[in-house]
Amino acid sequence: MDAIRGRIGSALLAAWRGLVVSFAALAGSCTLFVLALLSITMIPLGIGLVTTPYVLEAVRKHANQRRLLAITWSDVRIPVPYRPFPKDVRSGFTGRVERTTLMLKDPATWRDMRWMLVDMTAGYTVAILAAALMVYPVEGLVLAAGLWRVFTDDRYWYGFVPVDSQATGLAAAALGAAVFALGVLVSERLLRAHFVLARSVLAPTQEQELALRIDRLTETRHEAVDTAASELRRIERDLHDGAQARLVAMGMNLGTVEALIEKDPAQAKQLLAMARASSAEALTELRDLVRGIHPPVLAERGLGDAVKALALRLPIPCDVDVELGGRAEAPVESAAYFAISEALTNAAKHSGADRIWVDLRHSDGSLRCTVTDNGKGGASVGAGSGLSGIERRLGTFDGIMAVSSPAGGPTMVTMEIPCELS
């Protein structure tokens, strides 16, 4: 019985999600397709040079939102294939012309246009069907409950059943029950089919994806080298300013002790106590430094327990759900740990949330983590932000990150790294 209730609950949730997606397909895709088409056709008039970058950015956000829903609702991964803009893109009118040219040359832009056509037609049909199969049976029950009396003068058709009496009302209820049973069986599959259809249009070809991965790995390799160099400088600075200074002071105190041990034993004891305290502080700083490089709990107990330890140190409550059947390679675990740590720190500092949820699991050959908070929202990936640092860290391992953070919240950061568990 619990299994049946769980299956019905999952089908009802899929129906609600299908309704949300169908509205986004009909309203969002239709509106943005028309705006994008008008903006592109007005480029020769000069108006499109100003409007096209903004419209196509909105299209990309719309497509990325669907990618986020696909991975979080149906575990369907849709790659993000957009070419990055060069760092030297100029501002002003010249910059708008350059951005327009770059976006129109990007094959992903035209895949987005094709996807919106498919989304507002076949995608909408599949999504609304997932909802209709769970909603339509309600009408059959209402007819059987007595609503059929309203239609005694004019026969009403419920599906293929003409309803004009209590008997036909009961037949409508039976048909509704059959439709409901069908919905319980297929609603989740229909929702997944919607996202699979989107992936078939939005995803690049194998050759294009390979070229994008090569470009991305080349870029992230340079960033990883720069990050490693800056991290090495940070470690050297921390050693110089912290533990090294304390060790030097301790050595000086011990030298003074040697000179005072016979002349002033009391002063020598005080200096020895100071040296002992300095050694303890230096040891603590060295441990903290090593923990920053690779936390002991991560090496000893794995990623799941390390993330739980992170959550315990947060100033706000954090629920952690871990489903891992093994351990990833040490570099992958380290990258995932520090990416999650950065996401949790951002949520605790900037979101204004009073609760955070972390979901960590491995499926379909990827380690996936979702960090959600109930804060004010408005988080974005941009130059200098903590989220952009997470994206660069994950990119070193061919990982991806998706962010959903509407104004007013909640914020959901989804991170994924391809890997296998041992």
- Give 190's pLDDT tier (boundaries 50, 70, 90): very high
Please report, for the domain that includes residue 366, its CATH number: 3.30.565.10
Give the pLDDT confidence score for residue 207 in this predicted structure. Answer: 66
pLDDT at 196 over 90: yes
Give the pLDDT confidence score for residue 244 in this predicted structure. Answer: 60
CA dist 269 and 370 (Å) reads 55
Scan for tokens 């012309």, then name that residue. Answer: 97
- Give 191's pLDDT tier (boundaries 50, 70, 90): very high
Q: Strand locations in 106-200, DSSP E?
A: 156-158, 161-163
* 392 in Cβ contact with 227 (< 8 Å): yes
Least confident of 230-234, 276-280, 405-409: 230-234
Percent of the chain with pLDDT over 90: 15
Give the pLDDT confidence score for residue 33 in this predicted structure. Answer: 94
* 418 in Cβ contact with 328 (< 8 Å): no
Instruction: Work out the mean pLDDT of the chain and round it to a whole number.
Output: 79
Same domain for 11 and 120: yes
pLDDT at 292 over 60: no
CA dist 197 and 28 (Å) reads 17
Same domain for 336 and 189: no
Half-sphere exposure of residue 175, counting CA atoms within 13 Å on the CB side?
Answer: 19
Please name the helix (run of DSSP H) or strand (run of DSSP E) that holds residue 372, with its range, or none.
strand 366-373
The Cβ of residue 302 has, within 10 Å, a number of other Cβ atoms equal to: 17
- Give 302's pLDDT tier (boundaries 50, 70, 90): confident
Helices (H), 239-315: 244-260, 265-293, 296-301, 303-312
Domain boundary residue among 185, 204, 223?
204
DSSP code of residue 160: T
N residues, the chain: 422
Same domain for 356 and 309: yes
CA dist 155 and 141 (Å) reads 17
Rg (CA), the chain: 30
Same domain for 161 and 66: yes
pLDDT in tens, 229-271: 555 565 565 555 455 656 666 676 677 777 777 777 777 777 7
Q: Strand locations in 119-268, DSSP E?
A: 156-158, 161-163
Please name the helix (run of DSSP H) or strand (run of DSSP E) that holds residue 371, with its range, or none.
strand 366-373
Please name the helix (run of DSSP H) or strand (run of DSSP E) that holds residue 263, with its range, or none.
none
Highest mean predicted confidence (pLDDT) among 55-64, 149-158, 377-386, 388-397: 55-64
Q: Give the number of domains in the chain.
A: 3
Same domain for 372 and 228: no
Same domain for 135 and 43: yes
Q: Which domain holds residue 304?
A: 300-418
Domain boundary residue among 204, 225, 253?
204
Give the pLDDT confidence score for residue 364 in this predicted structure. Answer: 79
Same domain for 340 and 232: no
Same domain for 146 and 63: yes
Same domain for 330 and 278: no
Render 401-420 in DSSP notation, one character per residue.
EEEE--TT--EEEEEEEE--
Least confident of 245-249, 348-352, 387-391: 245-249
Give the pLDDT confidence score for residue 404 in this predicted structure. Answer: 81
Q: Which residue has the higher pLDDT, 387 or 306?
A: 306
Give the pLDDT confidence score for residue 95 in this predicted structure. Answer: 64
Please classify residue 5 by burial: count the beta carbons closer than 10 Å to its beta carbon, then call 0-12 exposed, 13-18 middle and 19+ buried: exposed
Same domain for 212 and 157: no
* 82 in Cβ contact with 60 (< 8 Å): yes
3-class SS of residue 319:
strand
Half-sphere exposure of residue 173, counting CA atoms within 13 Å on the CB side?
Answer: 14
What mean pLDDT do residues 144-172 have?
A: 72
Least confident of 37-51, 94-108, 171-185, 301-315: 94-108
Same domain for 158 and 261: no
Least confident of 60-74, 109-123, 148-162: 148-162
CA dist 337 and 334 (Å) reads 5
Same domain for 73 and 17: yes
- Give 382's pLDDT tier (boundaries 50, 70, 90): low
CA dist 393 and 401 (Å) reads 10
- Give 68's pLDDT tier (boundaries 50, 70, 90): confident
Three-class secondary structure assignment of 6-61: HHHHHHHHHHHHHHHHHHHHHHHHHHHHHHHHHHHHCHHHCHHHHHHHHHHHHHHH
Domain boundary residue among 293, 308, 334?
293
pLDDT in tens, 23-64: 999 999 999 999 999 999 998 888 888 888 889 989 998 998
